[in-house]
């Protein structure tokens, strides 16, 4: 069963307080998502480390309940 965008956002916001998450359904099937995450926890971290924080927030759901996620991360302005 695909994950709802609201569930993805809630997991990320819970793990990364202060994060701003924008979701986009890439295929119209609630199974292929693009997420833009802006979070203060990303400051001073490499892009790979930023992505790892997001994947960790999803708690192992990638590749299962969450089929595909195109991820963009950035630090707040």
The phi, psi pair for 34, rounded to 5°, reads -115, 135
28: domain range?
5-74
Across the range 26-32, mean pLDDT stands at 91
Residue 7 — pLDDT band, cuts 50, 70, 90? Answer: very high
Nearest partner of 35 among 70, 77, 68, 4, judged by Cα:
70
User: Please, which pLDDT band fits residue 63 given cuts at 50, 70 and 90?
Assistant: confident
Q: What percent of the chain has pLDDT over 70?
A: 100
Where do we find the tokens 């630090």?
A: 75
Q: How far apart are CA 57 and CA 54, in angstroms?
A: 5
Into how many domains does the chain fold?
1
pLDDT surpasses 90 at 73: yes
**Per-residue pLDDT, 2:** 87
CATH number of 60's domain: 3.30.300.90
pTM for the whole thing? 0.93
């Amino acid at each position: 069963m695909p994950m709802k965008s609201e569930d993805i956002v809630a997991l990320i916001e819970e793990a990364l307080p202060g994060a701003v998450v924008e979701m986009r359904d890439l295929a119209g099937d609630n199974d292929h998502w693009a997420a833009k995450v802006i979070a203060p926890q990303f400051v001073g971290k490499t892009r790979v480390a930023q992505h790892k924080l997001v994947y960790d927030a999803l708690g192992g759901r990638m590749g299962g309940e969450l089929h595909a996620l195109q991820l963009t991360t950035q630090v707040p302005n």
